[in-house]
Structure 1
Amino acid sequence: IHVRFSAYRTAMKSRRLQKALCLDLLELSIAQSVFDQHKLVHNGQLLEIPSIINCLCTIYRELQQVHPDLVNVPLCVDLCLNWLLKVYDSDRSGKVQVLSMKIGLFSLSKGPLKDKYKYLFAEVAGAAGICNQRQLALLLHNSIQIPHQLGEAAAFGGSNMEPSVRSCFQYVGRDDVIEVQQFVDWMHLEPQSVVWLSVLHRVAAAETAKHQAKCNICKECPLVGFRYRSLKHFNYNVCQTCFFSGRISKDYHLSYPMVEYCTPTTSGEDVRDFTKVLKNKFRSKKYFTKHPRLGYLPIFLRSPDFYRPLILV
């Protein structure tokens, strides 16, 4: 599939990587337990390759016990080691910082998105459970290395973390420190620099979803994966292939609002969307151009191919 929007393209690349490394099987709590077991508590410490291998062996042996048919320990350790070195050892020193390794593995591990945000925050927060601007920048810098290795960093602000940090502290309304719940609330607004992480979770959730609806563009039915439903026209649906490629029909405009579903809709959601369509039927194309509905928090000038305007559920 040609994926026009970089946020989705990066998430789909990350999903393939996650599954290839079997990190989609790794619970956050298990990862944390292994780090504690190996006494990896000093995040500034540099780990040499033998130490990284020891830690990864413990992780994948744990996974093999639960998923013996899916996890080949030597292969997974080799793949994950090489990935960590490519992402976090640009100088080819043969060393990776503990913090970088934790953020890399936590980012691609399994678990609720809210829990993942809390784990990531805890790795840079001080003993009091609060985070200053420098610590947040450190977290975001390590996170952006994943799309950077996938050739997608430019769409997420590159190596400049200052706009993201400023966005977070402006949202909180202070400039000294933030608490974990404030960070989680900001992340749920999908800041552009880390939106790939939340989209990754939706991509994973949508993989097996089947929707009893017909795509108004390519006529596919039922829809497998994501379903995009118009909030401007009644019973207008778009499949994920058409959505990702940016295809539209002659009577539909890109500025019109859509709602994204990564699981089949409930009757309550159907009624809610019907009500919204009723309201939007009397609004012009000019109105939607002037009042775009974005499912993420932009922090700097973005390309129109970064993320399609929609409403997230």
Structure 2
Amino acid sequence: MSFMGEANFGENKENVAQKVQALVKQFDQITDQCVRFSQSASSAGGFEQSNFQRGGLRSTYDAERRKSLNIHRRSLNAANFQALNPDLDHVAQLGAQLRNAERDLEIRADLADSHAVFVLYKRISNRCEDLQEGKKMLLNAERAAQNHSVFEKRAQNCRRELDEKLISLQCRRNELQNLLDALRAFENHRAPMKEWLQKIQPTAEMVEISKDSSALDQLTAEYNRHYDDYMNLKKVTENLFKEFQFDDLKNLKSQWNEITEQWNGLTEIIIRTRKMQSPDIKTKQALCQCETWFKRQLTKLEFWNQNGFTVAEQKRIDDILEKSARLIATFRQNGDGIMASDSGRKSLETLEIQFDRISHLVRELRLKSPQSSPSAKCSASPTTSQTMSTRSTTICSSPQSETSSVNGAFVRVQFEPECLRDLLDCLRNYNRIKFSNYRTAMKVWAVQKRLNFDLIDLAHVDLLFRQLLLKNHGDLSIDEQFQILKPLFEKAHADFPTSIKDVRDAILKATELFKSLAMSNEARTIKMALSFLVNGNLDQKYRYIFGIYTENGEGTKEKMVEMFTDLAKFPRLVGEDSSRFGLKSAPCSTASLFKHVADSNGQLKVEHVTVDQFLEWTHLNPETLTWARSLHHLIRSEFSKHKNAKCAGCKMYPIVGLRFKCLHCFNVDMCQNCFFARKTIKGHKPEHELQEYYEKVGDCTVRREFLLGLGMLKSAYDRVRRQPTRSQILTTPTQRLGQTEDLSQAVACMLNLATEHSRI
């Protein structure tokens, strides 16, 4: 039996479910009808009104029976009971007939009901079979759908795995392609290099045996031409070993090691041959230093020969000749090794020529000396003597000195150590600076840079002092100073190898500087000098130096006098031992400091000061320490570029370093060189006040000065109207810089601010 057509059962899950639900509903309705019919059939013998009124075939039978009885009764009433005396027998017959007819009717009704029930039963059975078959097909369809979903999930997982494998294969393909490219690059660099090394090896061996200079030069030139190729091969090989790991890596390493051994062997041959043809490095350096020293002494002797010399300088002339003879004798003793090379031979010949010239000049100067020729006047001019006596740098290796009389004037001569002669000559060049604070700052800065103290940080110095547990009292020997300076300069040499080439020479110069500065080996002074000369913030240096001279963070007057006295040794070191910055200024500085602290606290007298109070006083830029603040500004302005300013003197644009802006003239800026030399500028007077800029001025500062200047210009104009002869205005809102004489100067100051604003 087919259920709704098996051929058409290829529908989706939703349609099948709907049809099954309809069949179940129809089955439930038929079942209810069967139940009601069975209940009616089971209660048919009673003829109760309630049973005949319930639905089904039985109710139809009851209605027909009632209808027949009513018709039969009406016929009886009309036919048999019209007479007044009815026949009772006939009535009984009629009752029997009626009962028979009723029984026949019931039998017929029962037969009709049985046939209907049988037909209904067959229909219900067929429907139940169809429903069961439909349920089976539905279960099969659901099972197929579940299998289909599982298959789809498996297909998705397989597809995902295939995609991942494809991506990994593509990545592997890219890696293999990169590896192939790297191997090709390695082979392209390796093959020519290997061929050249095999070709050049016999030539290098012949050069080493023959020691031919021309052949060595050719070999060196060939070596230099292939040096870049070797470095490229080295770079390619390092990248190959770093990025890739493969089975044939050991073979490549062996090939690279073979190339490296051949290259290093060639390098050693060239170096060994070159050493055999030239003196060693120390001898070469000694020759260069000696040649430089000879040139410098020749310059001095020629100057004295032309302009005259003093008695103290006559002693130096003898020292120059003695040292020159000793140096040339030393080189002549080692002449075999020096003469073996062309460069050594040429240097030695140059030294001998210079020594002959020195000997000749010394003989001429001895003839001009006062002892050999009393009438000869070989003293320097008064201007020269005064300049040398007042501006000479007092760097010395010992406190020894002598006093000589030249034309009735006494000149104090101090002996400089040989390692600081170049520094001494450099410091003399700064005597042209007209302002003492900038002159002192430039000289101290030159000492700092020439001795490489600017390459050492204050933090490293502090850490070293903590590790060595150095006390602030007592003396330090030369060996102890060497042990202190050695790690500092070694670290600076590691960080700046081109600036510090010889660590021992740098330490020697530093120890001589400390000896000249302290005139003793006192530990406190050496710590102060080292911490002040190294690289660091000025406030940090002041704070650290204050801690050296004080205990528990509080300084008394005696301690402050000692600190200011040692700080004043820096100006004395560079020849600026005047009353303004010299040792005599220490009591004045101490009095000013304690007076400022007392006024700030509202007291008449204080016994000690703290480091914060000391720093607050230094921010006021006291006169005795103006050189230190100027030094700080010079260091910070070393690489500063003022892009909106052009020097009115030398036309430098942009101004690099310190910038000085005139507060009276319109659009007049000066660089530090023109300012130090007090260069004359048209329309500008030397007495005009200047504003110093050690950093580039920000746009906000210029705008603020411009806006505040507008109000000042208005107030100045009002004062001129009230008092035309004289007006007093402030030229800048940020600092009290001076007073102007008339309204034209006030307008010029305002135009300066407007010019700055227009350059933004």
With the shorter chain as reference, the TM-score category is 0.7 to 0.9
Any idea what SS the aligned residue of 2:555 has?
strand
In the other structure, the counterpart of 1:260 is 692
* Bigger Cα Rg: 2
Q: Deviations over 1:15-42 (max 9, x none)?
A: 111011111121111111112222212x
Aligned residues: 285
1:77 alignment partner, one of 492, 507, 529: 507
CA contact (8 A) 2:457 2:535 kept: yes
* CA–CA distance in structure 2, aligned partners of residues 246 and 171 of structure 1: 34
1:170 alignment partner, one of 595, 607, 616: 595
Is 1:29 matched up with 2:434?
no
Deviation at 1:248, TM superposition (A): 4.6
Any idea what SS the aligned residue of 1:96 has?
coil
Name the structure with the higher strand share: 1
Q: Deviations over 1:227-266 (max 9, x none)?
A: 1123334432122122112235353344544321112221
Q: Deviations over 1:180-235 (max 9, x none)?
A: 11101111112222221121111111122222211233433221211112333443
**Which TM-score applies when normalising by structure 1?**
0.83
Equivalent residues in 2 for 1:193-272, closer than 5 Å? 193-212=624-643, 213-272=645-704
1:3 alignment partner, one of 412, 433, 452: 433
Letter in 1 for 2:651: K
Any idea what SS the aligned residue of 1:40 has?
coil
Letter in 1 for 2:497: P
CA contact (8 A) 1:232 1:257 kept: yes
Is 1:47 matched up with 2:476?
yes
CA contact (8 A) 2:665 2:683 kept: no
* CA–CA distance in structure 2, aligned partners of residues 242 and 280 of structure 1: 30
* CA–CA distance in structure 1, aligned partners of residues 613 and 568 of structure 2: 20
* CA–CA distance in structure 2, aligned partners of residues 269 and 176 of structure 1: 41
Letter in 2 for 1:48: S
Deviation at 1:46, TM superposition (A): 0.8
* CA–CA distance in structure 1, aligned partners of residues 593 and 547 of structure 2: 16
* CA–CA distance in structure 2, aligned partners of residues 80 and 280 of structure 1: 55
Which shows bigger deviation, 187-196 or 209-218? 209-218
In the other structure, the counterpart of 2:166 is none
**Which TM-score applies when normalising by structure 2?**
0.35
Any idea what SS the aligned residue of 1:260 has?
strand
Deviation at 1:276, TM superposition (A): 6.5
Q: Point out which structure has higher relative CO (alpha carbons under 8 A, 6+ apart).
A: 1
Name the structure with the higher helix share: 2
Any idea what SS the aligned residue of 2:696 has?
coil
Structure 2 CA distance for partners of 1:273 and 1:253, relative to 1, 3 Å = farther
* CA–CA distance in structure 2, aligned partners of residues 280 and 123 of structure 1: 50
Any idea what SS the aligned residue of 1:219 has?
coil
Any idea what SS the aligned residue of 2:476 has?
strand
Letter in 2 for 1:24: D
Is 1:153 matched up with 2:577?
yes
Which shows bigger deviation, 226-235 or 206-215? 226-235
Any idea what SS the aligned residue of 2:499 has?
coil
Identity among equivalent pairs (%): 28
Is 1:191 matched up with 2:622?
yes
Equivalent residues in 2 for 1:95-134, closer than 5 Å? 95-127=520-552, 129-134=553-558
Structure 2 CA distance for partners of 1:27 and 1:144, relative to 1, 3 Å = same
Structure 2 CA distance for partners of 1:54 and 1:221, relative to 1, 3 Å = same
Letter in 1 for 2:648: N
* CA–CA distance in structure 2, aligned partners of residues 285 and 182 of structure 1: 41
Letter in 1 for 2:572: H
Deviation at 1:97, TM superposition (A): 0.8
Runs of 4+ in structure 1 displaced over 6 angstroms? 283-286
CA contact (8 A) 1:226 1:261 kept: yes
Any idea what SS the aligned residue of 2:578 has?
helix
* CA–CA distance in structure 1, aligned partners of residues 508 and 727 of structure 2: 54
Letter in 2 for 1:180: V
* CA–CA distance in structure 2, aligned partners of residues 103 and 254 of structure 1: 37
In the other structure, the counterpart of 1:92 is none
Structure 2 CA distance for partners of 1:179 and 1:280, relative to 1, 3 Å = farther
CA contact (8 A) 1:23 1:108 kept: yes
CA contact (8 A) 2:455 2:535 kept: yes
Structure 2 CA distance for partners of 1:130 and 1:158, relative to 1, 3 Å = same
* CA–CA distance in structure 2, aligned partners of residues 280 and 227 of structure 1: 25
1:65 alignment partner, one of 483, 488, 494: 494
Q: Deviations over 1:135-168 (max 9, x none)?
A: 1111111111111010002053421211110001
Unaligned runs of 5+ in 1: 90-94, 295-313
CA contact (8 A) 1:106 1:120 kept: yes
Deviation at 1:85, TM superposition (A): 0.4
Any idea what SS the aligned residue of 2:521 has?
strand
2:447 alignment partner, one of 2, 17, 28: 17
Letter in 2 for 1:136: M
Deviation at 1:109, TM superposition (A): 1.1
* CA–CA distance in structure 2, aligned partners of residues 240 and 63 of structure 1: 30
Letter in 2 for 1:170: K
CA contact (8 A) 1:6 1:155 kept: no
* CA–CA distance in structure 2, aligned partners of residues 214 and 123 of structure 1: 44
CA contact (8 A) 1:3 1:9 kept: yes
Deviation at 1:117, TM superposition (A): 1.1
